[in-house]
Amino acid sequence: MSPKSSIAPVRWTPPPAPPARQPQALEVQTVAVPGHGPEDALIDADGSVLTGLLDGRILRVAADGTSIEVLADTGGRPLGLEWLPDGKVLICDANRGLLTLDQDNRVETLLGEIDGRPMRFCNNADVLPDGTIYFTDSSTRFGVDEWMADLLEHSSTGSLYRLTPDGELTRLATNRPFPNGVALSGDQKTLFFAETASYGLYKLDLTTADAEPELVTMIPGLPDNIARGSDGLIWVAIGSPRNALLDLLLPKQPVLRKVVWALPESFKPKAADIIEIQAYDDNGKLVHDLRGTHPDFRMPTGVRERDGKVWLSSIGTNHLATFPTPNR
């Protein structure tokens, strides 16, 4: 086992916790997968679901969950998955960068380095019809195995990027606190992105050069992957409600967070054993607010809606979960 990284905590005062709310009750069905940590879910035209596991494998799960096929192994840690216009799958591999998976299940590297630096935490993406890719690199300090270190340190080293089909890479926003999921607006003029460490859903105007991110809304927890559904909504996976201990430590003496980071895993802040999902329209209006529990599923990190069905994924389980798209 590699030694634990040291952290250099930065003081940050969290925004006030949102008022108490009454989410709609959520009931899910689960599908077991042969491995741990299916982080994202990507739905194919036939209703089957693609997901990536902790050990690097990419799976295809039948729409009814009755069969599972191993498509490939990235040799890294696949996170966000998206379709490219040519039918390939774009893989955000935390350890290897942007990869592609073709119809013959061959994996190739599209972008592994930025400014000569290997990406440490390539996380999530969305894609325009012309093949332009928007993606996040959540941290230059820590890799996916030490995501909690980034939350404790709060040094804001993440960035949001655009990669055009001709290979031009542009940094759209930098020094962000754990930028995570991204999703284009319906008219493709705005990019929405989640910031896990700031509890925020942000938007960026793609029609204005050097535009600055704007806060859309505060999320009542730690937002992870986001995705636009076939219903036109932006679905947000909330990995965990806000942690009272983390909120307490962030504005205090940095040494306290060093102490917490040095503790055994059992003493560190943890995700709650619940399922929370939200969905917003392009104006930032909350349309769905869902909460539930299931003995086999917790810590949702990915959410995908298509044709009346929602699929959830999680780095904390060996299951996917699904439920029907709620009525508005």
Q: Which residues pair with 304 in a beta bridge?
A: 311
Distance, CA of 233 to CA of 205 (rounded, Å): 18
* Residue/partner pairs of 58-65 with CB below 8 Å, 24 or more apart: 58/89, 58/91, 58/101, 59/33, 59/34, 59/35, 61/31, 61/33, 61/320, 65/31, 65/320
Distance, CA of 81 to CA of 42 (rounded, Å): 6
Question: Which helix (H) or strand (E) element contains residue 193?
Answer: strand 190-195
Which residues does 166 contact at the CB level (< 8 Å), separation at least 6?
A: none
Per DSSP, 262 falls in state H
Distance, CA of 182 to CA of 64 (rounded, Å): 28
pLDDT value of position 119 = 95
Q: What are 10's two structure tokens?
A: 């930065």
Buried b / exposed e over 234-243, threshold 16 CB at 10 Å, is bbbbbbbbbb
Residue 61 pLDDT > 70: yes
Q: Residues 319, 280, 131, 105: what is their CA dihedral angle, to the nearest 10 degrees?
A: 10
pLDDT value of position 226 = 98
Mean pLDDT computed over every residue of the chain: 96
Each residue's pLDDT tens digit, 269-278: 788 899 999 9
Share of the chain above pLDDT 90, in %: 92
Distance, CA of 95 to CA of 81 (rounded, Å): 14
Instruction: Identify whether the C-beta of residue 159 lies closer than 8 Å to the C-beta of residue 178.
Output: no
Question: Which helix (H) or strand (E) element contains residue 62?
Answer: none
Amino acid at 7: I
Average pLDDT rounded to a whole number, residues 79-105 = 97
- Which of these, 126, 129, 258, 265, lies nearest to 191 by C-alpha position? 126
Question: Which helix (H) or strand (E) element contains residue 44?
Answer: none
Each residue's pLDDT tens digit, 75-89: 999 999 999 999 999
Average pLDDT rounded to a whole number, residues 103-119 = 96
Each residue's pLDDT tens digit, 197-235: 999 999 999 999 889 999 999 999 999 999 999 999 999
Cα distances from 136 to residues 36, 167, 291, in angstroms, run 23, 16, 27
Residue 267 pLDDT > 80: no
Instruction: Identify whether the C-beta of residue 228 lies closer than 8 Å to the C-beta of residue 263.
Output: no
Distance, CA of 169 to CA of 98 (rounded, Å): 12
Other CB atoms within 10 Å distance of the CB of residue 74: 21
The residue behind tokens 């967070």 is 257
Instruction: Identify whether the C-beta of residue 229 lies closer than 8 Å to the C-beta of residue 305.
Output: yes
Each residue's pLDDT tens digit, 65-74: 999 999 999 9
Average pLDDT rounded to a whole number, residues 185-203 = 97
The band of 1, judged by pLDDT with boundaries at 50, 70 and 90, is low
Amino acid at 323: F
pLDDT value of position 2 = 65
Q: What are 323's two structure tokens?
A: 């439920």
Each residue's pLDDT tens digit, 148-171: 999 999 999 999 999 999 999 999
The full set of domain ranges for the chain reads 24-324
Amino acid at 279: A
* Range 24-324 has CATH code 2.120.10.30: yes
| Distance between start and end Cα atoms, the chain | 48
Distance, CA of 229 to CA of 189 (rounded, Å): 17
The band of 20, judged by pLDDT with boundaries at 50, 70 and 90, is confident
